[in-house]
Amino acid sequence: MKRIGMLTSGGDCQALNAAMRGVVKCLSCSEEAVEIYGFLDGYKGLIYGNFRMLTGNDFAGILTKGGTILGSSRTPFKLMREPDENGLDKVEAMKQNYYKLQLDCLVILGGNGTHKTANLLREEGLNVITLPKTIDNDLWGTDMTFGFQSAVDIATDCIDCIHTTASSHGRIFIVEVMGHKVGWLTLNAGMAGGADIILIPEIPYDINKIIDAINAREARGSRFTIMAVAEGAISKEDAKLSKKEYKEKLKNYPYPSVSYEIADEIQKRSGKEVRVTVPGHTQRGGSPCPYDRVFATRLGAEAGKLILQGEYGFMVGYKNREIVRVPLEEVAGKLKMVSPDASIVQEAKMVGISFGD
Ligand code: F6P
Residue 309, domain CATH = 3.40.50.450
- Which are the contacts of 263, defined by CB distance < 8 A and separation ≥ 6? 172, 174, 274, 275, 276
Q: How far is the CA of 277 from the centre of ligand 1 (A)?
A: 17
Alpha-carbon Rg for the chain in angstroms: 22
Q: What is the largest CA-CA distance in the chain?
A: 70
In a domain, 251, yes or no: yes
Closest atom of ligand 1 to 283 CA is 4
Domain boundary pick from 284, 319, 340: 284
181 shares a domain with 118: no
Give φ, ψ of 110 to 5 degrees: -175, 180
Q: How many domains does the chain contain in total?
A: 2
Q: In the beta sheet, which residues pair with residue 109?
A: 8, 131
279 shares a domain with 202: yes
pLDDT the model gives residue 233: 98
Structural domain boundaries, residue 188:
151-284
pLDDT the model gives residue 167: 86
Q: How far apart are CA 341 and CA 346, in angstroms?
A: 7
Q: What is the DSSP string of 81-113?
A: TS--TT---HHHHHHHHHHHTT-SEEEEEE-HH
In a domain, 343, yes or no: no
Does ligand 1 come within 6 angstroms of the Cβ of 284?
yes
125 shares a domain with 169: no
268 shares a domain with 155: yes
Give φ, ψ of 330 to 5 degrees: -80, -20
In a domain, 14, yes or no: yes
Q: How far apart are CA 174 and CA 275, in angstroms?
A: 6
Residue nearest to atom 5 of ligand 1 (CA): 179
Are the CB atoms for 174 and 274 separated by under 8 Å? yes
Q: How far apart, in Å, are the Cα atoms of 105 and each of 59, 129, 130, 255, 261?
A: 19, 7, 10, 46, 47
Closest atom of ligand 1 to 135 CA is 2
In a domain, 357, yes or no: no
Question: Which residue of the set 136, 153, 196, 292 is catalytic?
Answer: 136
140 shares a domain with 236: no
- Which are the contacts of 82, defined by CB distance < 8 A and separation ≥ 6? 90
Per-residue pLDDT tens, the chain, 357 aa: give them.
Answer: 999 999 999 999 999 999 999 999 999 999 999 999 999 999 999 999 999 999 999 999 999 999 999 999 999 999 999 999 999 999 999 999 999 999 999 999 999 999 999 999 999 999 999 999 999 999 999 999 999 999 999 999 999 999 999 989 889 999 999 999 999 999 999 999 999 999 999 999 999 999 999 999 999 999 999 999 999 999 999 999 999 999 998 899 999 999 999 999 999 999 999 999 999 999 999 999 999 999 999 999 999 999 999 999 999 999 999 999 999 999 999 999 999 999 999 999 999 999 999
In a domain, 199, yes or no: yes
Are the CB atoms for 103 and 45 separated by under 8 Å? no
180 shares a domain with 126: no
Q: How far apart are CA 47 and CA 76, in angstroms?
A: 13
Distance from the Cα of residue 79 to its chain's centroid: 21
In a domain, 355, yes or no: no
Q: How far apart are CA 127 and CA 98, in angstroms?
A: 10
319 shares a domain with 234: no
Domain boundary pick from 220, 255, 284: 284
For the stretch 302-339, pLDDT in tens is 999 999 999 999 999 999 999 999 999 999 999 999 99
206 shares a domain with 94: no
Does ligand 1 come within 6 angstroms of the Cβ of 231?
yes
169 shares a domain with 254: yes
Which helix (H) or strand (E) element contains residue 16?
helix 16-28
Q: How far apart are CA 193 and CA 348, in angstroms?
A: 12
In a domain, 45, yes or no: yes
Determine the number of helices (DSSP H) and then strands (DSSP E) in the chain: 13, 11
Q: Which of 109, 23, 31 is nearest to 63 (CA)?
A: 23
Does ligand 1 come within 6 angstroms of the Cβ of 169?
no
Which helix (H) or strand (E) element contains residue 307?
helix 290-309
Q: How far apart are CA 63 and CA 15, in angstroms?
A: 7
- Residue 243 maps to which CATH number? 3.40.50.460
Which of 114, 136, 186, 278 has most ligand 1 atoms within 8 Å of CB, for mutation?
A: 136
95 shares a domain with 56: yes
How many CA atoms does the CB half-sphere of 259 hold within 13 Å?
25
Which helix (H) or strand (E) element contains residue 192?
helix 184-192
Q: How far apart are CA 61 and CA 48, in angstroms?
A: 29
Does ligand 1 come within 6 angstroms of the Cβ of 217?
no
Domain boundary pick from 259, 284, 309: 284
Does ligand 1 come within 6 angstroms of the Cβ of 136?
yes
In a domain, 345, yes or no: no
- Which are the contacts of 168, defined by CB distance < 8 A and separation ≥ 6? none
Q: How far apart are CA 281 and CA 59, in angstroms?
A: 25
138 shares a domain with 155: no
For the stretch 8-54, pLDDT in tens is 999 999 999 999 999 999 999 999 999 999 999 999 999 999 999 99
243 shares a domain with 229: yes
- Is 104 annotated in the active site? no
Sign of the CA dihedral with 312 first, then 317, 319, and 321 last: positive
Q: How far is the CA of 168 from the centre of ligand 1 (A)?
A: 32
